[in-house]
Amino acid sequence: MSIRTCVARAFCVVLTTGVASAPAPAPARENDPHPGLEKRDSVTTGIPRPAPATKGKGFLLDRLSKGHVRTWCAIDEVVAASNASGQPRSPTLRRLWEWARTSTHVLHVEMISPFQQPAGTAGVFRVERVDPAGQSHVAVIRLCPRNIRYAVVGRGPNSVESFVRFEGLTEMERYAEVLAHELAHAEYFLESPERLAQLAAAQGAIGALLSGSGRAIEPVHQELGRRLQEPLAVLAAAEAHAESVEAVVLRELAGDRAPSLAVENP
Ligand SMILES: [Zn+2]
């Protein structure tokens, strides 16, 4: 498998704490607004898509419906918002957004139905095509509006994360938090040929090992586990980075609003 195809796997935000009661699920449509979430980041596999023709750079919104473009614009407002001092409410998110907007790479944006994804998916990052020259990789960020809207805020069972996803945020700020996580993945991999190569190697190794484990007996399972340690560590490091960035954005957005709330309640 070439690096162009084996990198085409996904990183995602999967919510494990649950989804609040939502309107009756519509059929698998991408226009569904938002379901609830729990919190766990995991790596999932995905099916590579054909690389599209890429005329533009930075964010590409041509895969969004008109309704989803409005949602994207609302996210943009969160990113662009400033505090009383004229500084970005979330400097971390603003920096990532500007990086993506001005990047020579292509970042497609999609909004997806929860019914076509693993349970609890809130966001996904996937590399669709690797530019051998490293100048213009093609990737996609997928947001799942229904899950983001109805995500349950709280720590999941056996949770070890140091922050509570979405705690204290408005609906659109939730989108911004998930976007920050996926943008962190994008920058982490697209700006580093070494990390991109590590990702390709890790996912290739995992795929090869797992595809050959069907007839495994116990000693083979143990060997499989040993050989998976290194590639899984590569993926875990990427998730740890994205979560750390996400946690900072959460604190910036939630913390920025606290003073104004205090003023409103003398
Ligand atoms: Zn992630």
Give the tens place of pLDDT for each residue, 47-65.
233 344 445 589 999 999 9
Q: How confident is the model at residue 171 (pLDDT cuts 50, 70, 90)?
A: very high
pTM score, whole prediction = 0.78
**pLDDT tens track for 242-255:** 999 999 999 999 98
Q: Read off the pLDDT of each residue in 150-155 and give the average, rounded to a whole number.
A: 86
Tokens describing residue 67: 């309704």
181 C-alpha to ligand 1 centroid (Å): 6
How would residue 11 be classed by pLDDT, with cut points 50, 70 and 90? low
* CA 179 to ligand 1 centroid distance, Å: 10
Digit-coded pLDDT (tens) for 68-108: 999 999 999 999 999 989 999 999 999 999 999 999 999 99
Whole-angstrom Cα distance, residue 155 to residue 14?
13
Lowest mean pLDDT among 9-18, 91-100, 169-178: 9-18
Give the distance (Å) from ligand 1 centre to CA of residue 129.
19
How confident is residue 161, by pLDDT bands cut at 50, 70 and 90?
A: low
Distance 54 CA to ligand 1 centre (A): 25
Q: What's the whole-number mean pLDDT along residues 127-154?
A: 92
Residue that wins the pLDDT comparison between 103 and 265: 103
Segment 13-42 mean pLDDT: 46
CA–centroid distance, residue 241 to ligand 1 (Å): 8
- Residue 33 to residues 43, 94, 244: CA-CA distances in angstroms? 24, 24, 27
More confident residue, 156 or 59: 59
86 CA → ligand 1 middle, Å: 31
How far does residue 215's CA lie from ligand 1's centre (Å)? 31
Select from 242, 246, 208 the least CA-distant residue to 228: 208
**What is the Å distance from ligand 1's center to 173 Cα?**
18
Average pLDDT, the chain: 78
CA of 217 to the centre of ligand 1 (A): 32
Residues with CB under 5 A from ligand 1 (ion): 11, 41, 239, 242
Q: Cα–Cα distance between 261 and 266 in angstroms, integer?
A: 9
Residue type, 155: R
- Helix (H) or strand (E) run with residue 43 in it: strand 40-44
Å from CA of 15 to ligand 1 middle: 11
User: What does the CA dihedral 201, 202, 205, 210 come to, rounded to 10 degrees?
Assistant: -150
- Cα separation, 47 vs 52, in Å, equals 15
State yes or no: pLDDT of 131 exceeds 50.
yes
CA distance 80 to 100: 14
Contacts of 255 (CB under 8 A, 6+ apart): none
Structure confidence at residue 108 (pLDDT): 96
212 CA to centre of ligand 1 in angstroms: 26
CB 152 within 8 A of CB 39: no
pLDDT at position 42 is: 34
Average pLDDT of span 171-183: 97
CA of 113 to the centre of ligand 1 (A): 18
**Percent of all residues in the chain with a pLDDT value above 90, rounded to a whole number:** 49
CA distance 37 to 177: 13
Compute the half-sphere exposure of residue 169: CA atoms within 13 Å on the CB side of its CA.
31
| Cβ-contact 141, 186 below 8 angstroms | yes
Looking at per-residue confidence, does 228 or 193 come out higher? 193
Answer yes or no: is pLDDT of 200 > 80.
yes
29 pLDDT tier (thresholds 50, 70, 90): very low
Q: What is the pLDDT of residues 203-237, one digit of tens each?
A: 888 877 777 655 555 556 677 778 788 888 888 89
